[in-house]
Amino acid sequence: MRYVEKVSTDSDSFGDEDWSDLRAHLSEAEIAELGMFLVGNLGFHTFFGSLKFYPMFAPDGRLVSQEESAAIYGDRPESLQDEAAE
């Protein structure tokens, strides 16, 4: 998880020690797969954020229109990641 957070928030700080830590737990193929997964997801969320695409579901699980979702989530939609962990 440290890798995911570091790559998505401060990739320039990722160094030799981080690579060594990853290699202690994952193969080169697994590291490449994880990297591609992150690139796809980070790019997807960045792109949809630029379109002001709002979540399809309200926090209570109801399917909502983009207008209703905008009213719920405000000017800048945020990830529901914190709620997913609960």
Q: What percent of the chain has pLDDT over 70?
A: 87
Name the residue ranges covered by the structural domains of the chain.
Answer: 1-48, 52-86
- Is a pLDDT exceeding 90 seen at residue 26? yes
Closest CA to 77 of 85, 69, 67, 65: 69
pTM for the model stands at: 0.56
- Is a pLDDT exceeding 60 seen at residue 83? no
Cα–Cα distance between 3 and 80 in angstroms, integer? 20
At 6, list the tokens: 């570091």
User: pLDDT: is 22 or 77 the higher one?
Assistant: 22
pLDDT of residue 84: 43
Closest CA to 3 of 34, 42, 45: 34
Query: Rounded mean pLDDT of 59-64?
Result: 92
